[in-house]
Amino acid sequence: MLASLVALPIVYAVAVGDVSDVRTSSGARTVVMALTVAVLLVEMIALAQIIRVRAMFSRGDTARLTWTLIASFLLVRVLCDMRLIAGFLNLFPAGGFNFLYFYTVSDLLFIAALTTTIRLYKGTGLKFEIKPVDYLYIAGAWAMAVATILAASYQGSATNFSSVTGYREVAVTVGGVIVSLGLVVRRYVSQMGGGAVARVWNTVVIASVARDASHLASLLVPIWSPRYGFFVDIYLRWIFAICWALAATYQLEIIPRAAVLREEVSPA
Amino acid sequence: MLGEATAANLLRHYCVKMRMSVEDIHSDQLPQLAEAMRPMLAVWLGSEGAAQVAQELRQLEARG
């Protein structure tokens, strides 16, 4: 999966060749379409993993709510991606971009998951603190949101919330909240000295930043590089998808060891 | 299960909360430590996983 981060831009560059308008390039469209489907498949794998993680927690465990919300977040995203692909393939009647706001619904579910996680950590009675440098990172996330809104204004689509650009303004703002909360959780787990738990949430933060950055990149990169503007959004969403698959795998690696311990202590 | 670094810091955080030194923990205190840490461990392992870790710690004490 990690090798794909290097391979994909190379494959895209070869597929695009020397065409002047990359949107008319069948090679470019094929690569982007294939990657869009791959993102969906990886998100489905991540969703299946997260459902397994959720099942490891008992009904009375507070963390079960967190993983239920994360599973719901990914489920709504998967459904949205299916709708998006169906639109690309003309399997759905053209009807504007308002359905994109279902991605916002999924983001709100993830915000709820992050909020419950923070409350969970605080509820342990351990002392978790945010460091001053974290506020710098959070400011960076909000700078990305501001830059996206300014870029949308520059393109003259700032107030049209039925357009893709309008949606991106909303998405990057909600994404700023997600990255901010994710950085708080990341700080909490880093105080655990790294290790298995930190690996999960560090990966989640990378996923959140990648997705938030995709909104800004989709507006700015086409200005600087029309050739790669068509590709960068889906590439960052690919990073988002594989990070979630990795985070789910890391979380599963923590919990099954409890099941192994149970077998060693009291085999059936 | 949690990773050595996470487990070590979990223990350190617990000791700060209980206002005791890590060096002051003796093997006969392991059962109490296990029970006290179960809510924290449940955050990452669930109640079943935390109960099993607590059981392991009690068995460590029993083995001496």
Nearest CA in chain B to A190: B6
Q: Percent helix, strand and coil across chain A, each rounded to 5?
A: 80, 0, 20
Predicted confidence band at B53 (pLDDT cuts at 50, 70, 90)? confident
Spatial distance between the Cα atoms of A71 and A69, rounded to a whole number of angstroms: 5
Spatial distance between the Cα atoms of A33 and A140, rounded to a whole number of angstroms: 31
Q: Could you tell me if A99 and A81 are in contact, meaning their C-beta atoms sit under 8 angstroms apart?
A: no
A237: amino acid identity, one letter: R
Spatial distance between the Cα atoms of A240 and A93, rounded to a whole number of angstroms: 28
Predicted confidence band at A266 (pLDDT cuts at 50, 70, 90)? very low
Spatial distance between the Cα atoms of A25 and A129, rounded to a whole number of angstroms: 51
Spell out the alpha helix ranges (H) of B1-64: 4-18, 30-63
- Tell me: the pLDDT tens digits for A58-103? 888 888 999 999 999 999 999 999 988 888 888 776 566 778 899 9
Interchain pair A120, B43: CB under 8 A: yes
Return the closest-CA partner of residue B39 out of A56, A55, A123, A262. Answer: A123
Tell me which of A261, A262, A264 to substitute to probe the interface with B (most B C-beta atoms closer than 10 Å).
A261
Report the pLDDT averaged over residues B29-40: 74
Interchain pair A191, B2: CB under 8 A: no
pTM of the complete model = 0.85
Spatial distance between the Cα atoms of A191 and A182, rounded to a whole number of angstroms: 14
| Percent of chain A topping pLDDT 90 | 41
Nearest to A57 among B8, B46, B56 (CB): B46
Predicted confidence band at B46 (pLDDT cuts at 50, 70, 90)? confident
A93 or A6: which carries more pLDDT confidence? A6
* Predicted complex ipTM: 0.71
The verdict on residue A177 lying in a domain is yes
Q: Could you tell me if B2 and B10 are in contact, meaning their C-beta atoms sit under 8 angstroms apart?
A: yes
Spatial distance between the Cα atoms of A87 and A160, rounded to a whole number of angstroms: 21
Predicted confidence band at A265 (pLDDT cuts at 50, 70, 90)? very low
B4 or A217: which carries more pLDDT confidence? A217
Report the pLDDT averaged over residues B1-19: 68
| Percent of chain A topping pLDDT 70 | 86
The verdict on residue A264 lying in a domain is no
* CATH code (residue A176): 1.20.1070
B8 touches chain A (CB under 8 A): yes
Spatial distance between the Cα atoms of A185 and A208, rounded to a whole number of angstroms: 12
B35 touches chain A (CB under 8 A): no
User: For all residues of chain A together, what is the average pLDDT?
Assistant: 84
Contacts of B47 in chain A (CB under 8 A): 57-58, 60-61
Interchain pair B8, A60: CB under 8 A: no
Nearest CA in chain A to B12: A192
- Tell me: the pLDDT tens digits for A159-211? 566 677 788 888 999 999 999 999 999 888 877 666 778 889 999 999 999 99
pLDDT the model gives residue A268: 45
Nearest to B6 among A124, A193, A257 (CB): A193
pLDDT the model gives residue A140: 92
pLDDT the model gives residue A50: 95
The upper half-sphere exposure of residue A30, i.e. CA atoms within 13 Å in the direction of its Cβ, equals 9
| Percent of chain B topping pLDDT 90 | 0
- Total number of domains constituting chain A: 1
Q: Exposure of B2 by Cβ count < 10 A (0-12 exposed, 13-18 middle, 19+ buried)?
A: buried
Domain that holds residue A98: 4-253
Interchain pair A195, B43: CB under 8 A: no
Tell the residue number behind the tokens 């995203």, with chain if given. Answer: A77
Interchain pair A258, B42: CB under 8 A: no
- Tell me: the pLDDT tens digits for A36-60? 999 999 999 999 999 999 998 888 8
A225: its two tokens = 């590089």
